[in-house]
Each structure stands twice: as C-alpha cells, then as structure tokens.
C-alpha cells in the first residue's frame, strides 16, 4: 500500500504515467480501499466518469507543385520575425498552460499536498465548491419553501383575488 501512497503523491504532482493512473482508478473502484485513502475515493470516481477530450486531427494537403527553393537570407528574416513576435506574445500575455487554465488561478492542497497539475486542481476546486454550495442549498431549503408558502398565503393578495372575482361575477350578472 506504500506504493499506492507514492503513486498518489506523484498523481497530485502531475507526474504519474497513464498506467499508474489506471492502477489508481482500478484501486479506488475496488472494495479494498484502505480507510486512509477513502477521502480520495469520490475524486477518482468523479474523474473516472469524465470523457476524454481528443484533439482534432488536422490533415495537411499534399503539395501539388514543387516550388523553387527559398533563399537563405529570406529564411533568416522570417525566423527573426517569428522570434520577435513570440517574445512579444510571451511578454504581453500571461502564461497559460495547454488546457487554457492560467497557472495561478487555482491553488489546491489535499491533506497538505499541493495539487500542482492545474487541470486537476481546477477539477478538485470545482467539485469542492459545488459540494459546499449543495450543503448550503439543502440547509436553506426549508426557509425557501417557507418563503413560498408565506407569499402564497398573503392575506392582501387573497383578498385582492377574491374582490376581483366578485367584481367579475357582478359585472356578468348586470
């Protein structure tokens, strides 16, 4: 089980191999999860349900006509321009990782271990905030229901509705 701890530590640091991640998912799906690992179970079950997003495949069209070789001095100018633009982009815009999550947007510590993988940190953060909101929502439900009842049983509104009905009946009679 020491091995599971090591894989878990690597997992939260984003260093695990796909086989190790599969092993973790298998372990958390099994009935042999140790009590000290129970806390991570919902996390892995949730991740397990997620669909893998595959990057679209781009097909490069085959070159029809062979062009003349590009002059070397033009190549140098092109390379210098690309380098300048890259430098400008890197300087002007904040760093974003491959999934588009700015690296400082989420900070997650699970039992003292920092989740350094931004994508996993985001997933965990979203899940935790959702759970907290769910607890609050459940606890406030009776008050929300009481408010609805109070609105429905409002005496002024009931009398208004009744007087409108009486007026309508009287107008029909005449």
Partner 1 sequence: MKKILSILFLATVFVAGASAQQLEKLFDKYMEDERFNYVYQKKASMMDRLNDAGNVDVWVFDKSTTSLGRQMLTLNSADKSLDESFTREVENALKADKYEQVSIVRNGKNRVETYEKNTDKGIAKVSFIKNPGNIMVTLNVYAPRK
Interacting residues toward partner 1 by CB under 8 A: 39, 102, 104-114, 124-126, 128-130, 132-133, 135-137, 139-140, 143-144, 147
Residue number with CB closer to partner 1 (33 or 110):
110
Q: Which is nearer to partner 1, 23 or 127 (CB)?
A: 127
| Dihedral angle of Cα 157, 159, 165, 168, to the nearest 10 degrees | -100
Shortest reach from residue 18's CB to partner 1, in Å:
26
Cβ at position 140, least distance to partner 1 in Å: 6
Structure tokens at 40: 């991570």
| C-alpha dist (Å) from residue 6 to 11, 16, 36, 153 | 8, 10, 14, 61
Smallest gap from residue 124 Cβ to partner 1 (A): 7
What are the φ/ψ torsions at residue 154 (nearest 5 degrees)?
A: -65, 120
Minimum CB distance to partner 1 smaller for 39 or for 80: 39
At its nearest, how many Å lie between partner 1 and the CB of residue 33? 16
Q: Which of residues 42 and 159 has its CB atom nearest to partner 1 in the complex?
A: 42
Q: What is the C-alpha separation between 146 and 170, in angstroms, rounded?
A: 35
For residue 146, give every residue at least 6 positions away whose Cβ sits within 8 Å of its Cβ, in sequence order, or none. Answer: none
């Amino acid at each position: 089980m020491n091995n599971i701890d090591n894989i878990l530590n690597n997992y939260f640091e984003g260093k695990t191999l796909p086989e190790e991640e599969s092993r973790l998912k298998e372990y958390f799906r099994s009935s042999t999860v140790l009590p000290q690992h129970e806390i991570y179970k919902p996390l892995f079950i949730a991740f397990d349900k997620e669909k893998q997003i595959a990057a679209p495949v781009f097909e490069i069209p085959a070159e029809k006509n062979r062009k003349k070789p590009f002059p070397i001095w033009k190549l140098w100018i092109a390379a210098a321009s690309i380098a300048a633009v890259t430098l400008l982009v890197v300087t002007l815009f904040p760093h974003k990782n491959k999934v588009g999550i700015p690296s400082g947007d989420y900070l997650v510590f699970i039992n003292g271990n920092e989740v350094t993988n931004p994508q996993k940190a985001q997933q965990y953060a979203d899940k935790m905030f959702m759970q907290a909101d769910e607890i609050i929502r459940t606890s406030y439900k009776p008050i929300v229901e009481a408010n609805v009842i109070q609105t429905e049983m409002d005496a002024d509104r009931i009398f208004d509705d009744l007087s409108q009905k009486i007026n309508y009946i009287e107008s029909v009679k005449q």
